[in-house]
Chain A
Amino acid sequence: MTQTMRLGGGMIDRSKPLNFRFDGKSYQGFDGDTLASALMANDVRLIGRSFKYHRPRGVLTAGSDEPNALVELREGARREPNSRATVAELFDGLVAQSQNRWPSLSFDALAINDRFSNFLTAGFYYKTFMWPAAFWEKLYEPIIRRAAGLGSLSLAEDPDSYDKGFLHCDLLIIGAGPAGLSAALTAARAGAEIILADEDFRLGGRLNSETHPLDDAPASDWINASIAELESLPNVRLMPRTTVIGAFDHGIFGAVERVSDHLLTPPEGKPRQTLWRIYTKRSLLAAGAAERPIAFPNNDRPGILLAGALQSYVNRWAATPARRIAVFTNNDTGHRTALDLIAKGIEIAAVIDPRPDVTRTGDYPLLAGAVVSNTAGRLGLKSIEVRLASGEMRRLECQALAVSGGWNPNVHMTCHKRGLPVWDEGIAAFVPGETGAQGMFVAGAAEGRFSTADALTRGMEQAIVALGELDRKAHTIALPKAENDTGSITPCWQVKGGKGRAWLDFQNDVTTKDVKLAHQEGFRSVEHLKRYTTLGMATDQGKTANMGALAIMAELAGKSIPETGTTIYRPPYTPVAIAAFAGRSRGTDFRPTRLTPSHQWAVEQGAVFVETGNWLRAQWFPRPGETDWRQSVDREVLATRRSVGICDVTTLGKIDIQGSDAATFINKVYANGFAKLPVGKTRYGLMLREDGIVMDDGTTARLAEDHFVMTTTTANAVSVYRHLEFARQCLWPGLDVQLISTTEAWAQFAVAGPNSRKLLEKIVDKNFDISNEAFPFMACGEITVCGGLRARLFRISFSGELAFEIAVPSRYGDALIRQLMQAGEEFEATPYGTEALGVMRIEKGHAAGNELNGTTTALNLGMARMVSKTKDSIGSTLSEREGLNQPDALMQVGLRPLDKSRKVTAGAHLMVRTAAANAKNDQGYITSACYSPNLGHSIGIGFLKNGAERKGEILRAVSPLTNLEIEVEVVSAHFIDPEGKRLHA
């Protein structure tokens, strides 16, 4: 027989049975159940084992504050450890496993830990695993991790998708209980844009768990009518299954919407969850309150749960953990629970209330002035021991015990911006103080107003005030007549004198004894107590634990509770999957990819691509028969130097600089002179940081008196643009200069090699003369190609060859590369990638990112004379610092191996032949190295102390990391064409 503990009534749909499995056994529940309520209906009380002592545990709460009923939810890659059964919405096919037990839930070998509880107290690890230190990583930690902990990860990639999004509203209402709903109706009718978010899948909050009528009708009538009205309004966004996880700066909140968690698998393309960032002008916290337990010996057995939670199970889910139940309460909640249980036909063993003067509110046995002093039942509660007011001990048979130690307003969100709660003696709980969060209001149980009537009224009132601050007039609304019992409480934090441990933090297995020990050992701050005992540091963040612990600590210290204070509440309110934070930014979608205009063509050529920043660039173009990348790269280099090669260089940053002061501006941002650069000419520029270190380099072309195009390195395109904008707006706002990036707008190709001009002459329209005389080295101009397409031509060279860079509007980039390749057939034109580009620039001794590494100066690069002394430019003054201009300063040199068969490696450090290889003897380091197919051996460039004076010296290149030690000769960094004849051909 299934669902033996299912009662009548409830808010479940009995016409929709749902099948699920727990620990391999099949059960059935109904639509509207949680996993916890369905297990309860099936008489499953034992759900998990505790963190440290492996104590049997069942359900404690009915919400997101659950510390006990943690399971591994779902299977395979979707397995999610530490899921709270109390908020896991039941769906057909749900599979859950208990966790932290071996070999089975009912017989857990590691429950032996419980026998050693005297040793496993607070600070156990710190005291025990002190030595030998080497044992920690290899021995102690693995054993501890095996013995402790909760669920286990699947270690498979999460197969689901997660979205992120952004919402805006006038008023964000957090919680859709009576306060939240009345606030929403008030604000919505006033026309405000509102968002009403609730972590539950059923709106209504505490009203769903209580039996009090509203306007003499079931509360659900009012809830349903309210929701129907709100759903009909275009200015309202209802967000069930959405947990607001934190309050952040400037009225921004984070919220996780569980879009598909209630389904077996999300529909194709749909997200599992969405992480929303909500921008709101005002917020109203109506998050209710959380019930707290009482610490008494062995208060953690399955079957012991909070009284308010039990009301939820019997009233909302029509499930009960037992047919005979006792209640232990220090406030009126427990008495209401007893009445609700009686109404469901459940026998009340007794209501035990430590208040001596409390009176019975129904037909149940009342033990006033009594406390529960112990419990029994290995895998589930069987009986409790009660110490009566007279001191007499009495044993009561019962299979469940409902406990209520009072209610804590859910003040968390008011504290995320460093608001501090204040103590309210009347309800023995902290209530919101100054919230700290911009524009936040609080209503209902969250502010310590526990009656339904108060919640309804306060929700409405606070909404009116909040909208009033936005100059929006909201009116009072007709609220239903509701109970207005504010209740009474006499604090009872713990039962003293019993035998056995009394749990405070169920999830982290922290007992009253641990708090006492921590105090005894000198941990007087609540923050220290928390960290020493791990109280409140589990996934539930101590929602049910913290208050009791700090009350006990206050008592030990002889202080009041407000004097003792609380720990800091931090977001997220409930655990958030890392995947939700990542959203769609996973794998190849982690960041956008930029494609060059010739990408499609390069794919057709079988190019191998490399990521350079966000760009995908062709690294080399393998040809049939080439089995090694070097074969392809060597071929590309040789073909380029022999005839002509083509490379897509669109990725280089292009910044359009215009204005009557454009030349002045460029003269200030480059270290070398640009003021007199003629129109139609290009110049290499060296850009320094303020501290004199080289920031970037590139060429800048002057297309008109007031128009320049600056080229930056690919890596620094954005940072140089940002630097220029800063200089323009902040350093010299008086200059008439306008900047804009055109990197994307132009497809640019380097055409390099002795036949480059011949090839381009077939492309460039005939009315443009690109002969050496008309278009010499460093010339630039606006031209047309292929019969009239506007283009730009620059005679610049990174390879050291006769070379050009030609640019056309990006949409024609694909067509141009095809045209160039076709026109270049007679010259055996060869496309080359970034590897060949790198080889050729090293052969030529051109600096690139490896050399412009954020530590090098113009002097280091052999360009000291480029830093003009006749003008002021960014970095020029600080480049003259003494420390940067020592006689033995590092200078760029070339290096070649004495043994030509040996490989020079970038990263190797240079030592004189006889010196030991250590930092003290370091002479410099190699920044770039490659195999030069032109020279037939490996080469490198690097920085060497006083390098300019050491040509011909033999050094050792040492790299302990790669076991490299070879002898190298210091040579000129210009391995190819040092006279520059090819450039000017």
Chain B
Amino acid sequence: MHSLKPLTPLGGTTPRRDEYPGLILMENPDWAMASVAARAGSVKKLASAFTTFAQGKLAAVESIDNSGKITNFWTAPDQWMVMAPFASHESLAADLKAALGNTASVVEQTDGWCRFDLSGAHAVNTLERLSAANSRRMQANRVCRTQIDHLGCFMLCHKAGQDFSILGPRSAAASLHHALTTAAISIA
């Protein structure tokens, strides 16, 4: 076991939690992530290999798939982001590469992103002050790419109108958090 202590994207040793009337905002660093992009002509083989590995399927366009042992969501044509709890899957990228072989290009993305989970009745009110995505109409297990505070982000909906996650660039975590909290406070 190595000796290095991790920091969260916001620079803390524990995740930041903010609570407002109708909204809980949680920094969530506890996800390992890896991008999976199909090699040319290998989509079917990849889907099969992934199912074998994850016992789930690769998500459809703009969707999240939670059917297997690990989660994945669609990010672009023939490209997905796979997520699993960090504590048990820190080696997710290596494990995926071993399982998927030459059907896909796999890249570790765990620390490429910061993740903020929004939960509560004001989640949509907060998000509509930040993103052009129609979060109010977003169904559970849907995902979209959107811009928040000039940052390219993924917006994941876990429960319609209630539970969302925002994945943004890790280096800009403080700015993204500031944008989220400012919007949360601003809701009348």
Contacts and interface: CB of A to CB of B under 8 A. Distances in A.
Interface of A: 161, 163-168, 193, 259, 267, 269-271, 274, 277, 279, 584, 589, 591-597, 599-600, 614-615, 650, 656, 658-661, 706-707, 734-736, 738, 740-747, 784-789, 808-816, 819
Interface in B69-124: 79, 102, 105, 107-113
**Chain A CB within 10 Å, residue with most, of B2, B37, B134:** B2
B6 interface: yes
B111 A744 contact: yes
Contacts of B2: 784-789, 812
A592 B132 contact: no
A163 B129 contact: yes
Contact of B110 (A259, A658, A745): A745
Given A597-B7, A706-B102, A784-B2, 16 more contacts: A267-B188, A270-B186, A271-B186, A584-B179, A596-B171, A650-B171, A658-B105, A736-B39, A738-B38, A740-B109, A744-B111, A744-B169, A786-B3, A810-B170, A815-B5, A816-B4
A816 B3 CA distance: 9
Contacts of B39: 659-660, 736, 738
Contacts of B6: 811-812, 815
B183 interface: yes
Contacts, number: 159
Given A812-B6, A819-B3, A259 B188 contact: yes
A744 B133 CA distance: 24
B134 A279 contact: yes
Contacts of A811: 6-9, 29, 110-111
A595 B109 contact: no
Interface string B127-145: 0111111101100000000
Contacts of A815: 3-7
Given A809-B111, A815-B5, A659 B40 contact: yes
B108 A745 contact: yes
A808 B109 contact: no
A740 B37 contact: yes
Interface of B: 1-9, 11, 29, 35, 37-41, 79, 102, 105, 107-113, 128-134, 136-137, 149-151, 169-176, 178-179, 182-183, 185-186, 188
Contact of B171 (A267, A270, A595, A656): A595
Contact of B176 (A592, A656, A661): A592
Contacts of B131: 166
A592 B150 contact: yes
Contacts of A259: 188
A740 B174 contact: no
A744 B170 contact: yes
A746 B112 CA distance: 7
A594 B172 contact: yes
Contacts of B79: 738
Given A168-B134, A589-B178, A815-B5, A594 B171 contact: yes
Nearest to B173: A595
A240 to B, nearest CB: 13
Given A168-B137, A745-B112, A600 B4 contact: no
A809 B108 contact: yes
B107 A740 contact: yes
B150 A591 contact: yes
Contacts of A788: 1-2
Contacts of A786: 2-4
Given A593-B175, A744-B171, A808 B129 contact: no
A528 B110 CA distance: 61
Contact of A744 (B113, B150, B183): B113
Contact of B185 (A269, A615, A736): A269
Given A163-B183, A615-B171, A787-B1, A741 B112 contact: yes
Contacts of A810: 111-112, 170-171
15 contacts: A166-B132, A168-B134, A259-B188, A267-B188, A269-B182, A271-B186, A658-B107, A659-B105, A706-B105, A809-B110, A814-B7, A815-B5, A815-B7, A819-B3, A819-B4
B168 to A, nearest CB: 9
B171 to A, nearest CB: 4
Point out which of A167, A270, A615, A809 has the most chain B C-beta atoms below 10 A from its C-beta: A809
Contact of A812 (B4, B108, B113): B4
A614 B171 CA distance: 10
Contacts of A599: 11
A706 B107 CA distance: 13
Query: Sorted from nearest, which 10 A-B pairs have the closest CB atoms?
Result: A592-B175, A658-B105, A736-B40, A810-B111, A815-B4, A745-B112, A811-B6, A269-B185, A594-B171, A789-B2
A857 to B, nearest CB: 33
Nearest to A814: B7
Contacts of A812: 2, 4-6
B186 A161 contact: yes
Nearest to B4: A815
Contacts of A789: 2, 4
Contacts of B29: 811
Nearest to B32: A809
B112 A808 contact: no
Contacts of A591: 150
A746 B113 CA distance: 11
Among the interface residues A259, A584, A735, A744, which one has the most CB atoms of the partner chain B within 10 A? A744
Nearest to B12: A600
A167 B11 contact: no
A738 B109 contact: no
Contacts of A269: 182, 185-186
Contacts of A738: 37-39, 79, 105
B101 to A, nearest CB: 11
Contact of B149 (A592, A735, A785): A592
Nearest to A165: B129
Contacts of B8: 811
Nearest to B170: A744
B175 to A, nearest CB: 3
A660 B102 contact: yes
Contacts of A814: 7, 11
Given A279-B134, A600-B11, A811-B7, A740 B111 contact: no
Given A269-B185, A744-B111, A745-B111, A787 B11 contact: no
A749 to B, nearest CB: 13
A167 B127 CA distance: 10
A643 to B, nearest CB: 24
Nearest to B176: A592
A745 B3 contact: no
Q: Most A CB atoms within 10 A — which of B29, B105, B136, B149?
A: B105
Contacts of B133: 166
Nearest to B149: A592
Contacts of A816: 4
Contacts of A659: 39-40, 105
A592 B151 contact: yes
A789 B134 CA distance: 41
A265 to B, nearest CB: 14
A19 B147 CA distance: 45
A786 to B, nearest CB: 5
A165 B128 contact: yes
Nearest to B132: A166
A740 B40 CA distance: 16
Nearest to B77: A729
A277 B134 CA distance: 12
Nearest to A709: B107
Contacts of B136: 168
B109 A742 contact: yes
B169 A594 contact: yes
Contacts of A735: 40
Nearest to B93: A790
**Residue among B37, B107, B137, B183 having the largest count of chain A Cβ atoms under 10 Å:** B107
A594 B150 CA distance: 12
Contacts of A744: 111-113, 169-171
B112 A742 contact: yes
